[in-house]
Chain A
Amino acid sequence: MSAHKGLNLTLKVWRQQSQKEKGQMETYQVSDISPDSSFLEMMDILNEQLIEEGKEPVAFDHDCREGICGMCSMYINGEAHGPGRGITTCQLHMREFNNGDTIYIEPWRAKAFPVIKDLMVDRSAFDRIMAAGGFVSVNTSGNTQDANAIPIEKHKADQAFDAATCIGCGACVASCKNASAMLFVSAKVSQFALLPQGQVEAKERVQNMVKVMDEEGFGNCSNTGACEVECPKGISLDNIARMNREYLSASIKGE
C-alpha cells in the first residue's frame, strides 16, 4: 500500500454519443485516487462510479496497457498522452498530478480521425495508408531466404529499427497544429526504404502512401516538431526529411 494520500480531482471529459451527434465537455469529480494508479485505472474508477450512479461510462480505447499496442489515446491537459515524455496514456501515472487538479481529457482531434464515441476515434485512415504501400511483397516460390544472408550496415539497421518502433497511436496527428500524419507515414516509409528488402518497391511505396495520406484529409507538415516531442516512441524528424527526399526523388525518377 502506498503511503501517499489519495487524490481528489476534477475531470473535464469530452462526451459524444456518436460520430453524427455533437459532443460537449462534462465535469466529474473523483476522490481518493491512488497516486500509484495509472491514468487508465483512474478512468476505470470513474467509469465504475458512473455505472453506480446509473450513468453511461466513458468510452475510451485501450488494450495492452503496457505501452506497446498504441490503442490508448486521449489528449490530457493539452498534450497527447498527457504530461511526460516517451510514454503512452497507460504508462502515465496519477503521481504526475496534484490533489485538487482539474484535468482536461479529450479525444484526438483531426478531421481524418472522426470521433466514434466519447474519447474513441476512428484511426482506420492509418490502416488505409499502410494498405497503400506499408509492406514488402514476398513472392516466395518454395524456399524462403535466410534473413541474415543479406548484409546490412549496422547504422541503417538501427535507423530502420528505430522507425519500426512506431506503434501507430496517432499522437503525432493529435499534437500537430495542422493534424499532419507526416511522422507516422515517414516512419513507415523509412523502415522499409532503409533496408534492401524494402528498396525494391521504395518509389511506388512513398508515392502511394503520400497520395492516400493527402486524400485522407491530414494537414501539411510545417516542421514545428511537436510530433517528435509527443511521440511515445521517440520517432525522429529525420524520418520526415528522409520521406521528403524519397518522395521528391521518386517523383523525378519514378515511372
Chain B
Amino acid sequence: MSWVKNTFSSSIGRKFAMALSALFLMFFLLQHFAINITSVFSAEVFNDLSHFMGTNPVVQFALQPILIIAVVYHFVMGFVLEAKNKGAREVKYAMNKGQANSTWFSRNMIYSGLVVLAFLALHFYDFWIPEISTKYIDGDMSGLMANGDFRYYEEMVEKFHDPLRTGFYVLAFVLLAMHLLHGFQSAFQSIGARHPKYTPGIKKLGNIFAIAIPAGFIFIALFHHLTSH
C-alpha cells in the first residue's frame, strides 16, 4: 500500500484529504444546525432528536469516530501545511500587497481556524466530555434527569446563561463564517471539482452556507441567552 502513503504525503494528496475532511465537517455542521434550530421552537423535539443522536449505534460508533478523525486530521494537517508553507518562503517581502490579488479570508485560514479550534475545546468541555462521561463512564444511557424529563434541553440552555460564554460562541461563529467563505469553494477546487457550468453556482452556494449556518448558530445562542433567565 505504498501508493496510498505516497499519495497522501504529496502536496496534492494532502490538500485532497484536507478537502474531504472539510466536506464531512460541513455536512456535520449542517445536520448539527438542523437539530439545534429545533430547540428554538420545541424543547421536546430537540430532546427527542438529541436522545436519538446520543444513543443511536450508527451515529455513536460509525459517524462519531469519522467525525473525530476528520476534526483531528483537519487541524493537525492544517498546522503541518501552514508550517511547510511558511518554510517555503524563508525571507519575507518588505512590501507585499496580498489584498491586490486575494481575499483576506483565503490568506488567513490559519487564524480563523485557530479561533474555531479554541471554540471546539470549549464546546467539547461544555457538552461532549460530560456526554461521554455520563453515558460511557457512569453508564447512564437514559438521557433523563431526576424528575424523569430529558436532560438535553436543560443542559444546553443552562450553558447559555453566561454572557461571556455566549459572547465567545458568537465570536467563534463569526470566524467560522470567514473560514467557510474561503473553505467551501476551496474544498471543491482541491478535489478537482471545477467546471465553468457548476463552479459559479458552487461559489454562490458556498457564500450562502458560510453566512447562513454560522448566523443561525449565533441566533440560537443569543435566543437562549436572552430567553432563559
Q: If the complex has contacts A12-B94, A77-B97, A248-B192, are A109 and B11 also in contact, measured as CB distance less than 8 A?
A: no
Instruction: Report B193-228 residues with CB < 8 Å from chain A CB.
Output: 193-194, 196
A245 interface residue (CB < 8 Å to B): yes
Cβ of A25 under 8 Å from chain B:
yes
User: What 7 A-B pairs have minimum CB-CB distances, sorted nearest first?
Assistant: A78-B97, A219-B88, A245-B192, A241-B194, A178-B85, A104-B95, A229-B101
B3 within 8 A of A: yes
- Whether the pair A109, B101 counts as a contact (CB closer than 8 A) is no
Stretch at the interface among B103-111, B147-155, B162-170, B171-179: B103-111
| Complex Cα–Cα for A112 and B87 (A) | 10
Q: Do A226 and B101 contact each other (CB < 8 Å), given the known contacts A219-B89, A248-B7?
A: yes
Chain A interface category by residue count: 35 or more
User: In the complex, are the beta carbons of A222 and B186 less than 8 A apart?
Assistant: yes
* Residue in A106, A180, A223 whose Cβ sees the most chain B Cβ within 10 Å: A223
Contact of A225 with B101 in the complex, beta carbons under 8 Å: yes
B144 to chain A, nearest CB (A): 47
B92 touching A109, Cβ below 8 Å: yes
Q: Is B41 an interface residue (CB 8 A)?
A: no
B11 and A210 within 8 A (CB): yes
Partner of B7, one of A14, A229, A251: A251
Interface residues on B, range: 35 or more
Q: Does B38 contact A (CB under 8 A)?
A: no
Residue B135 lies at the interface, judged by CB distance under 8 Å to chain A? no
Q: How far is the CA of A217 from the CA of B11 in the complex (A)?
A: 11
Measured CB to CB, the closest approach of chain A to B186, in angstroms, equals 4
Shortest Cβ gap from A97 to chain B (Å) = 14
Query: Given the known A-B contacts A217-B88, A241-B189, A247-B12, are A106 and B93 also in contact in the complex, defined by CB atoms under 8 Å?
Result: yes
**In chain B, what residue has the closest Cβ to A219?**
B88
How far is it, in angstroms, between the C-alpha of A109 and the C-alpha of B95 when the chains are bound?
Answer: 11
A-B contact pairs, 21 of them (CB 8 A): A75-B93, A77-B95, A78-B96, A79-B101, A106-B95, A111-B89, A112-B88, A175-B101, A177-B85, A178-B85, A213-B11, A217-B87, A218-B88, A220-B81, A220-B85, A221-B15, A224-B101, A224-B106, A242-B192, A244-B190, A251-B3
